[in-house]
Structure 1
Amino acid sequence: MSTVQHALEQALQTLQPSHLQLLNESHMHNVPPGSESHFKAVLVSAQFDGQGKVRRHQAVYAALGPLMQRIHALALHTYTPQEWVELNQAPDSPNCMGGGKHQGE
C-alpha cells in the first residue's frame, strides 16, 4: 500500500467507518506511473445519519485536513449504514477524459 493511501485511510478512521474502501485510481488518469494523486473513497459511517452530502463531504475534508494538499482528486461516496445496506455498492468511476479534453480534439 502506498504511503499517501495509508495516511488517508488512517485519517478517515476518525469518522469511525463501518466500511471503508479507498482506491488509488491514479492509473486511470494522465499521470506518471506510481502516482498517488487520484483516489476514490467509499465510506459508510453512522456519523452521517441525518446529514446531507455536503455535510458528509465537509466531515471527510475535516478528517483529512492537510492531507488534501497531497492529492489532486478525491471522489467521495458517503453513506449511512442503512443506505449502504440498501445499495451495497458505490458507482464506478468514469473514464478519464485526459484533463478535460475529449478524444479527437
Structure 2
Amino acid sequence: MPGPLQSEMEALLTAAFSPTRLDVINDSAKHRGHMGDDGSGESHFTLVIESAAFAGQSRLQRQRMVNAALGDIPGQRVHALAIRAFAPGDAE
C-alpha cells in the first residue's frame, strides 16, 4: 500500500504529464539505516514515467520537468529520487 508521499507524487505527476505509464517505486527498505533514511519509510524512490510531454526533450530536460512538477519533494522531503522519463516509442 503506497504511503502518503508516494501517493502525492503519483497525483502530481499524473496531473502534470497525463502519463501513459507511471511507476513510483519505493526503494526505502533497501536503504534502511543508511544516510538519508529518515525512518519514514519514504526516503528513496525510483520513478518510471512515460508521457508525450517528454517527446523531443533531452534526458536532462525531462528530469528537470519531473523535478519541477514535484516541487519541494526532491531533495527536501525525499533523500534520493531516480528518474527514468521517456516518451511513447522511446526505448526504455
- Structure 1: gaps (5+ residues): 88-105
Q: Which residue does the alignment assign to 1:57?
A: 63
Shift in Å at residue 34 of structure 1? 5.4
Q: Which residue does the alignment assign to 1:66?
A: 72
Q: Which has the larger radius of gyration?
A: 1
Shift in Å at residue 66 of structure 1? 1.4
CA distance in 1, matches of 2:17, 2:71: 13
Structure 1 residues 22-45: Cα deviation after superposition (integer angstroms, max 9, x where no partner)? 000001113366510000000000
Counterpart code for 1:10: A
Normalised TM-score (structure 1)? 0.75
Higher helix share: 1
Matched residues, percent identical? 36
Please give the root-mean-square deviation of Cα atoms over the aligned residues, in Å: 1.5
- Structure 2: gaps (5+ residues): none
